[in-house]
Structure 1
Amino acid sequence: MAKITVSAPGKLMLLGEHSVVYDRPCLVTAVDSRVHVQIKTTKVPTLTINAPEVEIKNYKRSITDFKPSKKLPRGVQFIEAVLQILYEKYKLNSGLSIRTRNGFSSKYGLGSSSAVSVCTAKGISELFNLKLSNQEIFEIAYQAVLEVQGVGSGFDVAAAIWGGTLYFETGGKVIEPLEIKKLPLIVVYSGVKADTATIVKKLAKMRTLKPNYVNSRFDLITKLVKKARDLIETKRWEELGELFNKNQKILHDLGVSTDILHKLCVTSILHGAEGAKLSGSGGGDCLIVMSANGHKHVIEQRLVEAGGTLVPVETGAKGVSIDEKSN
């Protein structure tokens, strides 16, 4: 029996959420809270999954039928979707036992499902000597994401694979690492878990009804993304914070922000932050705050008092990696 443990980072969207779904760029950074996936080959032709963070214990099914069950938590569906792609493409037939462990709560919206998909693809590649490149792993994991949730741009998959901070265009047409290690951010959970697929589909409907309005906002976001890329690499944090505020205003106009996110943004800026915005799909999840001027402790204290929960992560984390392997 061969065994491997693979880990991949979560992510934070910096600028460009929603517009990136429609052939536009975004900026994303990997965070040091990681998802870990252990995969073992077995002699029995079954798939066994244990995912305690989503209360899945000894889930079993035939190794010949990986079609994801909609009744299972998203993370498990992503595993099955990746396995279905790989087993069909490479004619694999070994039984598997898979165990997942999250270094962060899936409620934060930091991309745990995408990280699980990447870990699964990387682990299978290593166990069966498929020698998949990062680009091939991206294509497999991104295909799995689309099969499970129907929508997505792939930026979270890219962050899990390459790590660091990336300039990314829809579907991985462009994936370029930025020359920066860490960003002076405060990350805050709003207390509300968002459903990314639902919010993306809601905005898609709005775009169908008001194409000129929505597309013009997406074009404005694209300009912010391109300007922010240079600001990040030259560490011009105050100007970057201003772009955060502009991006947040657009997202608010598009209806994806919430009262609590707005409250946390205002609170952070009133107490010295250079800027603040939601990170991800909106509707809840996390807020990112630019704090490079020495007011971090005060800002954090006020955010907690306003109802936020601090999420202690570092940015620019390394991408997918093999933690342990044995034959």
Structure 2
Amino acid sequence: MITTSTPGKLYLAGEYAVVENGNPAIIAAVNRFVTVTIAENQERCSITSQQYENHRVHWERVNSRMIVDDRDNPFQYIIAAIQVTEDYVQALGKPIQKYHLSVNSELDSGTGKKYGLGSSAAVTVATIKALCQLYQLSLSKVQLFKLAAIAHFNVQGNGSLGDVASSVFGGLITYSSFDRQWLAEFRDKIALPELLKLEWPRLEITPLQIPSVLRFLVGWTGSPASTSRLIDKVELKKGKHGPQYERFLHESNKCVREITNGFRQNNSKLIMQNINRNRQLLQSLSTLAGVTIETPQLTKLIDIADHFGGAAKTSGAGGGDCGIVLIEANYDIAGLQAAWQRAGIEPLNLAIYNYEGEPSD
């Protein structure tokens, strides 16, 4: 039996801009996980999840192809991960196996609350990591990211794939998105083993360290949001406001670079100034595109954090889900979290998660 786990994620800065090729974001892996277990099964292949207790997906093998009973299927990302990984396996000339795959996720609460921690990316990565063990594949972290990015993009069709990078690398990273049009063009022209070895245009993934004087806090507003739908809405409007959108990209890029410098220089003041600046940029994008990024409850979360001396903003696409705060450790963190609770905001017991004993490439 094989078991693998991968962390969820939260964006610290650079949301929306990171969707455009080469624009950076800063992302934190967090200490809640998706766990995938594989057990060999010679009779029939299946997928189950503790989150869907009454649902099981079966598939058959027809000439090594995966044929899925797709009726009412909640497991699109898992299936995409299996299909892409087994394309890679077959390209290496290895035989395909039968197995049962089960999934358990801590990224949502036990009562089904969705926190926006990147469960689709985490389950994609965890599935591929488990299959790499099953098929005895030796991939670098960059190659694992590339394989998972292909699988995830096959399902979602938009987004930066930064959440995939975060689940692969763990810790705190700066991530610049690769050219997805380039990938679409070469995906079917180049064998997967060779595609994973190539340099992908504009892709950058670099580890960072948070200064020891800063604490990372997360509050949940009680309202889930759809990242892909919000990205689609901004995508529809950006052509209509070309110069303003380009200005947003330029300023976001500059802001993320300053935060990155702050992490590298151990400069908490520079980091917090630019977290606040990034919030302002997202507010301007919200007005420009006519989408709600910072909901009233997120505004309340940020205002409370500001009152206690923290730097706060929405995380990810916004529209609900979580807000993040960076605050100095000697400030009144307990008071801040108590004020959140009085305002109907749930403090989440999360920390930045680093893989132990694994090379970062």
What's the TM-score once normalised by structure 2's chain length? 0.82
Q: Aligned to 1:65, what secondary structure does the other structure show?
A: strand
Q: Aligned to 1:294, what secondary structure does the other structure show?
A: coil
Aligned twin of 1:143: 150
| Greater shift in the superposed pair: 236-245 or 211-220 | 236-245
CA distance in 1, matches of 2:220, 2:167: 20
* Residue of 293, 299, 304 corresponding to 1:267: 304
CA distance in 1, matches of 2:71, 2:152: 13
Aligned twin of 1:306: 343
Deviation track 1:290-321 (CA, whole Å, cap 9, x = no partner) reads: 22142111111111111211111111432898
* Residue of 289, 309, 317 corresponding to 1:281: 317
CA distance in 2, matches of 1:104, 1:240: 27
CA distance in 1, matches of 2:36, 2:357: 11
* Residue of 245, 266, 274 corresponding to 1:214: 245
CA distance in 2, matches of 1:66, 1:107: 30
Shift of 1:52: 1.9
Shift of 1:265: 0.8
Distance change >3 Å, CA 166–CA 77, structure 1 → 2: same
Shift of 1:230: 1.6
1:177 pairs with 2:198: no
Q: Aligned to 2:114, what secondary structure does the other structure show?
A: helix
Aligned twin of 1:291: 327
Deviation track 1:230-284 (CA, whole Å, cap 9, x = no partner) reads: 21233332332221221112112222221211121112212x1321001111111
Aligned twin of 1:39: 38
* Residue of 114, 128, 135 corresponding to 2:121: 114
Q: Aligned to 1:167, what secondary structure does the other structure show?
A: strand
Distance change >3 Å, CA 242–CA 218, structure 1 → 2: same
Aligned twin of 1:22: 20
Distance change >3 Å, CA 221–CA 58, structure 1 → 2: same
Q: Aligned to 1:5, what secondary structure does the other structure show?
A: strand
CA distance in 2, matches of 1:130, 1:213: 46
Q: Aligned to 1:251, what secondary structure does the other structure show?
A: helix
Q: Is the 8 A contact 2:6 2:126 kept in 1?
A: yes
CA distance in 2, matches of 1:304, 1:79: 35
Deviation track 1:40-87 (CA, whole Å, cap 9, x = no partner) reads: 12102x3311112244533212243356958433xx211100111122
CA distance in 2, matches of 1:111, 1:221: 22
Q: Aligned to 2:139, what secondary structure does the other structure show?
A: coil
Q: Is the 8 A contact 1:22 1:170 kept in 2?
A: yes
| Greater shift in the superposed pair: 258-267 or 236-245 | 236-245
Q: Is the 8 A contact 1:68 1:81 kept in 2?
A: no
Q: Aligned to 1:264, what secondary structure does the other structure show?
A: helix
CA distance in 2, matches of 1:252, 1:260: 14
Q: Is the 8 A contact 1:164 1:319 kept in 2?
A: no
Aligned twin of 1:65: 66
CA distance in 1, matches of 2:296, 2:36: 36
CA distance in 2, matches of 1:67, 1:18: 34
CA distance in 1, matches of 2:139, 2:176: 22
CA distance in 1, matches of 2:314, 2:102: 32
Q: Is the 8 A contact 1:224 1:247 kept in 2?
A: yes
RMSD: 2.1
CA distance in 2, matches of 1:132, 1:305: 47
Distance change >3 Å, CA 302–CA 66, structure 1 → 2: farther
CA distance in 1, matches of 2:104, 2:327: 31
CA distance in 2, matches of 1:210, 1:15: 22
Deviation track 1:86-132 (CA, whole Å, cap 9, x = no partner) reads: 22332243112111111231711111111111111111111111222
Distance change >3 Å, CA 287–CA 48, structure 1 → 2: same
Shift of 1:162: 1.1
CA distance in 2, matches of 1:145, 1:117: 7
Distance change >3 Å, CA 276–CA 70, structure 1 → 2: farther
Q: Is the 8 A contact 2:89 2:135 kept in 1?
A: no
Q: Aligned to 1:184, what secondary structure does the other structure show?
A: strand
The amino acid of 2:14's aligned partner reads G
Distance change >3 Å, CA 118–CA 29, structure 1 → 2: same
* Residue of 187, 192, 202 corresponding to 2:233: 202
Q: Is the 8 A contact 1:159 1:166 kept in 2?
A: yes
CA distance in 1, matches of 2:176, 2:327: 27
The gaps in structure 1 that reach 5 residues or longer are 322-327
Distance change >3 Å, CA 145–CA 66, structure 1 → 2: farther
The gaps in structure 2 that reach 5 residues or longer are 179-199, 287-292
Q: Aligned to 1:117, what secondary structure does the other structure show?
A: helix
Aligned twin of 2:182: none
Aligned twin of 2:186: none
Aligned twin of 2:103: 100
Matches within 5 A, 1:234-253: 234-253=265-284
1:254 pairs with 2:269: no
